[in-house]
Amino acid sequence: MTEFFIRDTSKAEVCRRIFWQLVEVSNQHSQQAQELLLSTILEASLRSIDGRLFTAKKDKSWNVGKGLENFFNAYLASDEWTDTRS
């Protein structure tokens, strides 16, 4: 994990931000608030990794499923993740 953080500082920064946002999720009292914040964090993470940051204008060119597929191919491509990817 240390090697990952040293190798690509931009992705390491994304990981640090995700961690602190997850801490905030754990402080929410309702499950609905936790789920909403968590889904927002996950989408923002995928967009950041894909280089497709959110814009106020409707951007229909980015697809969540394709972003997730790109993530799996880049970071979880080994056979041990096959069940998770399904």
Residues 6+ apart with CB under 8 A from 83: none
Q: What is the pLDDT of residue 27?
A: 92
Break the chain into its structural domains and give their ranges. 2-85
Residues 6+ apart with CB under 8 A from 81: 72
Q: What is the pLDDT of residues 36-86, one digit of tens each?
A: 999 998 888 888 888 887 777 776 788 888 888 888 888 888 888 888 777
Q: What is the pLDDT of residue 2?
A: 64
CA dist 19 and 28 (Å) reads 15
- Is it the case that residue 30 has pLDDT exceeding 80? yes
The tokens of 8 are what? Answer: 């690509």
